[in-house]
A and B are shown apart, each in its own frame.
Chain A
Amino acid sequence: MTVAAWITMLITWLVITFFTARFFWLLVRRGKSDRSEED
């Protein structure tokens, strides 16, 4: 693989993984607090 291909792929993977993980983590935390509020 060329360096340009590696860089493009890794940056894209990092950006997508970062936002996916961040939002999913927020969702799980909010979900827990929603449940405790309902209780």
Chain B
Amino acid sequence: MKTTERWGSRVGLVLAMTGSAVGLGNFLRFPAQASQHGGGAFILPYLVSFLFMGIPLLWIEWAIGRRGGQFGHHSAPGMFDSMGKQRWLKYLGVFGIFTNLCIAAYYCYIESWTLSYVWHSLIGTFRHVAPTDFFPRYLGMREESLLALPHEAVFWFILTLALNVWILSRGLARGIELAAKIGMPLLFLFGVILAVRGLTLGKDAPGVVQSPLAGLNFLWNPRPEGLLDPSTWLAAAGQIFFTLSVGLGCIHCYASYVKSKQDIALSGATAGWMNEWVEVLLGGSILIPIATAYLGLEAVQSSTAGGSGFALGFLALPTLFNNWGWFAPVAGALWFGLLFFAGITSSLSMGQPIMAFLEDEYGWRRRSAALAFGAATFALGMFCVWLYPGGAFDEFDFWTGTFSLVVFALGETIIFSFIFGIDRGWEEITRGADLKVPRMFRFVIKYITPTFILVIFVAAMIKPVGNWGPAFGSLFSGHGWPLAPDSVIGKILHVGVDHYSWFDENGRATTGFVRDITRMLLMIVFALSGFLVWRAWRLKARRAS
């Protein structure tokens, strides 16, 4: 059953694309990364990466997607299959199924936290309970236990999933597009209100220990030495990569519902720049300035040292809002509502490619496909919920939300330029364009973008402890490469884990056990996704013969 769905309008499409890109990372990860890596100096590599990797990658994915749609394919396997004669091409598209499903599983769980925090902000929970106590209790974490079964968190998780499934089952224009048309303006509005309120906090306001501008200064004061540090460039390129929702298969899917001669160059660029606007202007003006005002710069620096703003966003901000009197519950609801809208517009974009695969390749109806997505996401998500204290959640995040994206993006840029061919690729990007795409981007797409992603890939594989300069110093002085525990090879080899074993001396399972069974589960899901692709093509071949 071939779908004939279309977007209702171009603005709706771009808002949906922007919603897919704008996620929790825009508000939590960007400010932490920027402040950790050179402050204002971070922004130059960040914008360079956006121009030479982000925008070209967006155009590549839009082009692959729109072309796939012409062949009746709205998910990655079919799109890649139609790009060349090689039979293995469709198997790169397995990433577009696997990654979306696995990320949706844990991402919807985070999304459900934001929804429940909206509720708890409104009923004033954080006036009585510190979020640092509330959060582990909410997740059902107990001392020395690797398991959790939190009833309230599961309730919100199911509610969030049901909402996603319901919106997805309504279709493209009446579901996803409508959600983006409602969610994105509200997100802008909530963000602007919080940014203005936070930045106008006076030094004499209750609880304020420092001007919020000190936080902005920390974020924007250029530290030029950062420009010479490879870590800054890698962090900036990594942030651009992860903020744009590239390497997932979502953009391909959304673009596949665009008509063959309709513009993608302007639409792609607009979605990319809108994401940057939200990330840099809004994302950079809420978390750090408000936290600085109430906690002081030193505390903010230490809590963002790991490059994540999660601790500030979920554990500190709800308490800090209590200083805002009657506005506190509203501020909490605005902050977590903003994160919820950022989250749901992204999770919807993860569901659509999986549904499109089932509809296109197996002839499923939309509602059945939406329910199947919900059921699979629930099953995998519950694994993360249940084994959250044991580290299952982090494993999902690392292997699907980081590693798989880079592998997929690297593969697609190479296929686009060297198998499909840059001539055809360029024609695909510029056909019907409402924007004159500078010709230098042809060279950039062919050589610079894959190089950028390759560098990110290699860097993720062998990331050292600390900075790169001293790591090379250590290598050349014969002390070996100081592999970081969160590098890909470090993860595989369990670097940094003392006495790695599955069970402790009392016979109880360890986090090493949980991490390894999570990896096995992910490999099984990947293999099953590959099997579904293989079977779909086998059925097609039988029908054709």
Chain A interfacial positions (CB closer than 8 Å to B):
1-2, 4-6, 8-9, 12-13, 15-17, 19-20, 23-24, 26-28, 30-31, 34
Contacts and interface: CB of A to CB of B under 8 A. Distances in A.
B273 A30 contact: no
A13 B221 contact: no
Nearest to A28: B11
Given A16-B281, A20-B276, A8 B10 contact: no
A16 B217 contact: no
B266 interface: yes
Interface in B256-286: 262-263, 266-267, 269-270, 273-274, 276-277, 280-281
Contact of B270 (A8, A12, A24): A24
B40 A9 contact: yes
B10 A31 contact: yes
B216 interface: yes
A27 B40 contact: no
Contacts of A23: 266, 269-270, 273, 435
Interface residues of B, number: 30
B40 A4 contact: yes
Contact of A27 (B11, B47, B216, B281): B11
A15 B214 CA distance: 23
B216 A34 contact: no
A24 B10 contact: no
A3 to B, nearest CB: 10
B222 A12 contact: no
B40 A16 contact: no
B302 interface: no
B222 A5 contact: yes
Given A1-B217, A17-B281, A23-B435, A8 B273 contact: no
Nearest to B263: A30
A8 B222 contact: yes
